[in-house]
Amino acid sequence: MKRAVAFTGVIVALCSCAQPVPRGGHVVVALSSDASVLNPLIATGSNTSTVLQFLFTELVEHDFDSETGTDSLIPRIAKSWSWSEDRKSLTYQLRADLRWSDGVPITAHDIAYSYRLLGYKEIPSVRKGKLDHFVRSESGEIDWDRAVLARNDSTIEFRFDSAYRRENQLDDTQMAFVPGHIFRSMDVSKVASSEFNSKPVTANQFRLKTWNKKQEIVLERDPGWLLPHAAHLDEVVFRVIPDMTARLVELQTGGVDMVEGLTPAQALEVSKNGNCRIERQENRRLEYIGWSNIDQTAYRKDKTIRPHPLFGDARVRKALTTAIDRDLLVQAALESYGRTADGPVSPAFRWAVNDTLRPISYDPDLAKRMLSEAGWFDHDGDGILDRNGISFEFTLTTNSGNERRAFVAERVRDALERIGIRVHVLQLESNAYNTGLRNREFDAFIAGQVVNLGLELQNQFGSDLEKNSFNVAGFQNRSVDSLLERASTYWRLVDAAHELKQVQAILLEEQPITFLYWYDNLIAIRNRLQGTHVSILSPYHRFYDWYVKE
């Protein structure tokens, strides 16, 4: 009998597996703001990127192996790729059977012209960094006759000034490109405001059907695009709903099928609705407290680098981390949707995480002793530590409109006041906050980042502050510089594991910033939408597998 039941179970399972995925239908994705432009060369903003990934594809597709923590590449427009012997030239062989949404064949010339456009100063693009390593002429300008070469319709070659890291070469040569036949005859100064930006000719499973500005963007399946297979859905609709409450009401009443960026409380509420589920994009978003390691006033004045009067001493920074109960903070702010962070390398990259290090534990008494060793005592008995007549008092700045950061700021203030440090919390409007960060105007700040998958740490921890503008804390450490320099010389990223682990060890001791937590991007999805693959790469990863189960 048991065997019969088991056999029946297997048959049922096989039948259900063999069922074809339903085709047709549409899903609605909520966006907090409208796309800016649908031109991948000049687009900015996360919502715009979300829409663009449905419309434009790159030469290869990324996939992330969560077991090994490594990124792999799957051929898409490119069938194959290879390097020259000196590793200064990368050549892609393209498929010859792909067409733009207007029916014109996609060729290597489209890619070459897209890169050429990116090089013009008239094109306002945040992607110009992709050109940094392209081969240059003696005058220092990119030598366009040699840098990007369409050898024929299906072969494109990129040439670089050095044999820099493999993954970075691949990354620099991945860009959603635009149709050359549209832009070649256009004055370059008109590209940024061309009609293409709102009526693009596209190259992916979906193409633009309609765009009602600030309302909705409707994409329809491009029947001519079968790579890797035709999308199951007929349409994907992006509805612009700025207010999160309205987005969640729409989700629960069936007006939208997918909403991202929920708070843990919202996720718990939504998960009670039997028609919805919560999926997580884990280990991609980091939040931290930045301590200004250098006297930023002096630096702003004449680029002089000298230690910050409060945070210039690594012992002090380590004491501050020790005084903050980060585990409790995670529990209170993120519930089960986050984990304590001890360094800048995402736990997803298992091979690169230095798990031999002992994380800093919460111990306020130890923190006080560490501050005493650094010379901070309450000499005048006012309850605030002081040294050489300077009270340990500072402003912790964060951006307004972020409840999680506001909560953390208050908790950190309370924690530090318990060890004799007075903290003023300041919330600034986001744009003013970002400008202040860039101009190094803050003593201490709460910031966050979506970490890049190339494990690029130079920009955040490299000592050269002119070159590494994201080193807002002003961290200075020659050992880290040489380790990162050495890491960059390896051909493969995984070969740099040893250096990356050593950097983590130094950062743990130096605490240029207090790493707080990795928080999950929480995505609510109605159960009618199936086939989703929320991954560290994107909540919309492999969207062409999505289907509707009514």
Partner 1 sequence: MLLYSLKRLIGSIPLLIGLLTVTFFVIRLAPGDPTAMFIDPSIDPDAAEHLRESYGLNDPLPLQYAKWLGVAPPFNGVLQGEFGISFSRHQPVFEIIREAVANTLILTLAALMLDFGIGIFFGVIAAMRRGRPTDHVINLIGTFFYSMPAFWLALMLILFFSLKLGWLPASQMHSTGAAGLSPVAYTVDLLRHMVLPVFVLGIGSAASTVRFTRSSMLDVLKQDYIRTARAKGLPERTVVFKHALRNALLPLITLLGLSIPFLLSGAVITEVVFAWPGMGRVVVDAIFARDYPLIIANTFVAGCLVIAGNLLADILYALADPRIRLIKPGPA
| DSSP classification of residue 195 | G
The distance of closest approach from Cβ of residue 367 to partner 1 in the complex, given in angstroms and rounded to an integer, is: 29
Residue 26 engages partner 1 in binding (rule: CB under 8 A): yes
Residue from 66, 84, 152, 210 touching partner 1 (CB under 8 A): that is 210
Instruction: Show contacts with partner 1 in window 253-272 (CB under 8 A).
Output: 253, 255
What span, in angstroms and rounded, lies between the C-alpha atoms of 465 and 469? 6
Helix or strand (DSSP H, E) at 424: strand 422-428
Cα atoms found within 13 Å of the Cα of residue 349, Cβ hemisphere only: 24
Closer CB to partner 1, residue 108 or residue 251? 251
How many angstroms separate the CA atoms of 17 and 545, rounded? 15
Segment contacting partner 1 by CB under 8 A, of 31-39, 67-75, 147-155, 180-188: 31-39
Q: Which stretch binds partner 1 (CB under 8 A): 143-151, 309-317, 346-354, 434-442?
A: 434-442
Per DSSP, what are the bridge partners of residue 514?
Answer: 289
Determine if 469 is a binding residue for partner 1 (CB under 8 A).
Answer: yes
Q: Does 37 bind partner 1 (CB under 8 A)?
A: yes
Examine residue 426 and tell whether it contacts partner 1 (CB under 8 A): no
Interatomic CA distance for residues 94 and 175, integer angstroms: 14
Whether residue 359 is preceded by a cis peptide bond, meaning omega within 30 degrees of 0, is no
Go through the chain and tell me how many residues it has.
Answer: 550
State the nearest-atom distance from the C-beta of 328 to partner 1, in Å.
28
Which one, 419 or 451, has the nearer CB to partner 1? 451
Any contact of residue 339 with partner 1 (CB under 8 A)?
no
**Cβ-contact 304, 363 below 8 angstroms:** no
Are 435 and 462 within 8 A, CB to CB?
A: no
Reduce the DSSP state of residue 300 to 3 states and report it: helix
User: Measured from the CB atom, is 285 or 315 closer to partner 1?
Assistant: 285
Choice from 22, 25, 44, 280 touching partner 1 (CB under 8 A): 44
Figure out which of the listed residues 72, 97, 450, 527 binds partner 1, where binding follows CB under 8 A. Answer: 450
**Measured at the alpha carbon of residue 219, what is the angle toward residues 214 and 223, in degrees to the nearest 5?**
165
Query: Of 319 and 507, which has the nearer Cβ to partner 1?
Result: 507
Tell me which residues in 95-134 interact with partner 1 (CB under 8 A).
Answer: 121-130, 132
HEC profile for 498-522?
Answer: HHHHHHHHHHHHHCCEEEEEEEEEE
What are the φ/ψ torsions at residue 239 (nearest 5 degrees)?
Answer: -105, 135
382 binds partner 1 (CB under 8 A): no
Q: Should residue 463 be labelled a site residue for partner 1 when binding is judged by CB under 8 A?
A: no
Minimum Å distance from CB 128 to partner 1? 5
Alpha-carbon distance of 397 to 399, in angstroms, equals 7
Residue that has been written with the tokens 């736990």 in this structure: 347
Considering beta carbons, is residue 251 or 370 the nearer one to partner 1? 251
- Interaction site with partner 1 (CB under 8 A): 26, 28, 33, 36-37, 39, 42, 44-45, 121-130, 132, 192-193, 197-198, 210, 212-216, 237, 239-243, 245-247, 249-250, 252-253, 255, 428-432, 434-438, 449-452, 456, 459-460, 467-470, 472
